[in-house]
Amino acid sequence: MKTNTVPKGDLSMALDCIRAGKIVLVYDFDDRERETDMTIASEFITSGVLTRMRNDAGGLVCTTTPGRTAEELGLPFLSDVFWNNREKYPLLGMMAPNDIPYDNTKSSFGVTINHRETYTGITDRDRALTITEYVKIIFGDAPAEDKIKDLGRYFRAPGHVHLLNTTSKLLKTRRGHTELCTALMYMAGVKPSATICEMLGDDGTSNSKERAMDYSRKNGMPFVTGEQISEAWETFLMETGTDV
């Protein structure tokens, strides 16, 4: 008999898979989006991983940036870009995302980018190049001003990779997939950027929790929930003193 209970050991397995450059499945909350995302550490993205996300998940491929890093490098929330240009383009102000039914924040969407060595930017190979090179720069050892110059030198915007910025105080002010998956990266000890993609169904809706869990069993992928991640995150913060 199939069960809807998520095994507790899946979180430990998920962290091991992340360190090994593998995909894990993350469900948020029953009272939020009620969606499952495929996620992988952005530093391990390949064109093959993106092909699988595109075929087996089917949602929007996005790459997360820790809020403090985004702020340091001048990578804004897209809603702020729109809001700050509302005098010139009044419609942008009118379209402010202040009525998201599952979220009290302004959404985590940042700018979109392509690496300058890509062609159209949308192919799996192009997006893999954009994501991996982006991560190399933002988590490199160079001073912030040099990283900013390199981002301008090697990337153009808009593009086909959607960046997502986490909110400050990770998982305190927002508990979306952006924050949940980034928290997993911190706990796994990899570069704290996740590439994520929602799992959609063939009936025009998102995959149910049950269908996503069935996929995880058939494909040997750990399935973890927002509750599991949030609980582990609190312990991680206390034990490590991490401040993000």
Active site members: 37, 62, 102, 114, 160, 198
Q: Is residue 34 within 8 Å of 206, Cβ to Cβ? A: yes
Q: Is residue 63 within 8 Å of 131, Cβ to Cβ? A: yes
- Give the whole-angstrom CA distance, residue 151 versus residue 115: 9
Rounding to the nearest 10 degrees, give the CA dihedral for residues 210, 214, 219, 223.
40
Residues in the chain: 244
Element (H, E) at 124: helix 124-138
Report how many helices (DSSP H) and strands (DSSP E) the chain contains, helices first. Answer: 10, 7
Q: In the chain, what is the greatest distance between 2 CA atoms, to the nearest angstrom?
A: 60
Strand partners, 164: 64, 109
Give 21: exposed, middle or buried? Use CB within 10 Å, 0-12, 13-18, 19+: middle
For 155, the token pair is 């990337």
Q: Is residue 206 within 8 Å of 193, Cβ to Cβ? A: no
Strand boundaries in the chain, DSSP class E: 24-27, 36-41, 62-65, 109-115, 155-165, 194-198, 223-225
The terminus-to-terminus CA distance of the chain in angstroms comes to: 42
